[in-house]
Amino acid sequence: MKKSKDTAAALPVVGVIGLGIMGGIMAETLRRAGYAVNGYDIAPAARARLKRAGGRPLASTAAVAQQSDVVITSLATSAALAAVAREVAAAAAPGRRPLVIETSTLPLADKDAAASVLKRAGIKALDCPISGTAARMKERAWTIFVSGEAKARKTAMPILRVFTDNLPEVGPFGHGTRMKYAANHLVAIYNVAYGEVVTFARKMGLDPRRMLELFGSSPVLGTGVMRLRMPFMLERTYSPPTMKVEVWQKDMQVIGDMAKSLDCPTPLFTACAPIYTTAMAQGLALEDTASVAEVLGAMAGLPPVARRRSRKPAR
């Protein structure tokens, strides 16, 4: 809902650093809710999208930090997070230290290191990873695991509530990421399970569309992952993706490394990993992770569908 000019003037200025799929939709949604939004991304096209949405693309991370009350970071790599933390800390000035809301899915040690850099500059940080895709945010179906200092969580809540009402407060900084690892552990397994059952249905001569009709809304069998990903599998078309296979590989690695560091067995999760790796090898890197159904279909001897082989864009 659009707010009045007086109400908008009283809202904090929000900066978004990292204007990719997730950061971009957060910035656009905040603008529609009446917030002034500054943003920065290394990609000119991402900055242009923000401008079209009514936001202010700025020339650097430091500029966003200096001109915003709250900064949301949505970043693809640990190196990017480390660089952003250093730049935000260096840009801090008396009376202008923004609250940082970190939303990426990255190794916890790297998040802790970034938070330490910010803390030395007098900047508070929250760890608030998101469970959900950009498409699901339109349905307000995201879950954001909010962790960090209680006072900072209270400041962040009205902003995060623009995106979703599912805002569990899960404890001190880092617990959000731990909870996200657990969520993505399940998603990795569910996704392959649904590809497997679609393949099983086809081999038995069943119409898997009927299966989705019967199971999708079931309080026992149905899940949001089923309802999101199985339609891709039924159509055997995996673009535009809600989560690219190549991006998901990063999440798989992070979760696997955490489990290994704790000597925690994850046999189901571990069994799923080669399926996603095979999808990469079959040219599905830029397709939705639902494309694991094609890997399983090939293993079952189902005829492939004609598709353009997806490739990584040229650098």
Taking residues 214-239, report their average pLDDT: 95
Question: Rounded to the nearest 10 degrees, what angle do helices 175-203 and 108-120 cross at?
Answer: 150
Residue that has been written with the tokens 């599912």 in this structure: 166
Which pLDDT value is given to residue 118? 97
Burial per residue of 252-269, b for 16 or more beta-carbon CB atoms within 10 angstroms, e otherwise:
bebbbebbeeeeeebeeb
Q: Where are the domains of the chain?
A: 5-173, 177-299
The model's pTM is 0.87
Determine the pLDDT at residue 94.
Answer: 79
Q: Which residue has the tokens 């959900």?
A: 132
* pLDDT on residue 314: 36
On whether the CB atoms of residues 183 and 136 are closer than 8 A, the answer is: no
How confident is the model at residue 9, as a pLDDT?
A: 61
pLDDT tens for 128-172 read 999 988 777 778 889 999 999 999 999 999 999 999 999 999 999
Which residues neighbour 260 within 8 Å (Cβ) at sequence distance 6 or greater?
A: none
Is residue 308 over pLDDT 60? no
**Cα gap 42→83, rounded to integer Å:** 12
What per-residue confidence (pLDDT) applies to 143? 95
CATH fold of 177-299 = N-(1-d-carboxylethyl)-l-norvaline Dehydrogenase; domain 2 (1.10.1040)
DSSP per-residue letters across 46-104 = HHHHHHHTT-EE-S-HHHHHHT-SEEEE--S-HHHHHHHHHHHHHH-BTTB--EEEE--
Per the model's pLDDT, the better-predicted residue between 34 and 308 turns out to be 34
* CA of residue 207 relative to chain centroid, distance: 32
Least confident of 79-83, 123-127, 311-315: 311-315
Write out pLDDT tens, residues 209-218.
999 999 999 9
What are the CA-CA distances from residue 114 to residues 31, 61, 80, 83, 95 (Å)? 27, 15, 10, 9, 21
Mean local confidence (pLDDT), 48-68: 97
SS3 298: helix
pLDDT over threshold 80, residue 205: yes
Q: pLDDT band for position 311 (50/70/90)?
A: very low
Whether the predicted pLDDT of 310 surpasses 60: no
Classify the phi-psi angles of 153: left when phi > 0, otherwise alpha if psi is within -120 to 50, otherwise beta.
Answer: alpha
Quick one: 5-173 is in which CATH superfamily? NAD(P)-binding Rossmann-like Domain (3.40.50.720)
Q: What is the mean pLDDT of the segment spanning 251-261?
A: 95
Q: What is the mean pLDDT of residues 226-232?
A: 96
